[in-house]
Chain A
Amino acid sequence: MTWLVASGVVIGVGTLSIASWAEHAHGEAIAHTMAVVTFSLFALLFSVATKDQQQTAFSLDTFSDPMFTKMTGISVLTLILATFLGPLQAILDTVPLSFTQWLLCLAVSASILVVSEVVKAVGRRSGQTEVSTTV
């Protein structure tokens, strides 16, 4: 539970950091869009991190699961469409983002992977070999 709360804090702080910066630098429309993109990327990367509580996410096994890989691809596609497709822009009040803005969102959201890997590494080093199916 502690890990889940910590993850939530990382996700929230990261999203709000981007939103706050973008609001002052680019205005409300881009700030909202970047907040949506950042949070979605956080969720996506968090799902990769939670796929296995012991094994690192940076392994070939992470995307050896066809169902998970397919769903991840669909998530990425819908996220991109939400910012680039005209009708969706009108419905969701989003605006196109530049490549740099996308990179910024991705860099901040990657922090959840970093935190997760550190926690897993500590767990492996402390010799946790018991069933880790608790949340």
Chain B
Amino acid sequence: MTGDGVNDAPALKKADIGVAMGITGTEVTKEAAVMILTDDNFSTIVKAVELGRGLYDNLTRYIRFQMGCLFGFIVTFLGSSILYILAGVPFLPLQTLWINFTTLLFQAIGLGYGQPSEGLMQRKPRSPSQPILTRG
């Protein structure tokens, strides 16, 4: 729902995404809206969607990476204890910290702050209730 007048405010509030006009819109409308078009240009919505998808893509990449490495740590330490490899201590404490504060940290930054994937805008919309972690 897009609007600029005071009478649009209830609809903007109720909508999944309320979009208010930044120049011609009233303050009431802007308060009710989730998104404000500062240039009153509808095509800016496309840019906003692109930025939002990029942010979400980076977030999920970061979470995927961290969770995968976390499971890797769990399996490594658990396996080492069960099979008594390196006396149950695969990495010394400082080595574990080094891995976490170098490789894992730098790669997480690279994924989280990097460029979004190609073709994001060609993908179908995602349901708002779709969880980040699924069974698949």
A residues near B (Cβ < 8 Å) are: 1-5, 7-9, 11-13, 15-16, 19-20, 23, 28, 31-32, 35-36, 39-40, 42-44, 46-47, 50-55, 61, 64-65, 67-72, 74-75, 78-79, 82, 91-94, 129-135
Are A43 and B98 CB-contacts (below 8 A) given A4-B64, A7-B72, A13-B75? no
* Chain B, Cβ-Cβ closest to A74: B106
Within 8 A of A (CB), among B46-86: 53, 56-57, 60-61, 63-65, 67-76, 78-80, 83, 85-86
* Chain B, Cβ-Cβ closest to A93: B92
Measured in the bound complex, the distance between the Cα atoms of B12 and A70 in whole Å is 43
User: Is B128 at the interface (CB under 8 A from chain A)?
Assistant: no
Contacts of B79 in A (CB 8 A): 12-13, 16
The CB with the most chain A CB atoms within 10 A, among B73, B74, B106, B125, is that of: B106
Whether B107 lies near A44 (C-beta < 8 A) is yes
Interface size class of B (residues with CB under 8 A): 35 or more
B residues near A (Cβ < 8 Å) are: 53, 56-57, 60-61, 63-65, 67-76, 78-80, 83, 85-86, 90-92, 94-95, 98-99, 102-104, 106-111, 113-115, 117-118, 123-126, 130-136
Contacts of A23 in B (CB 8 A): 85-86
Contacts of A134 in B (CB 8 A): 60, 130-134, 136
10 A-B pairs, CB-CB below 8 angstroms? Answer: A7-B71, A8-B69, A8-B75, A9-B71, A44-B107, A46-B65, A47-B110, A53-B117, A55-B117, A135-B133
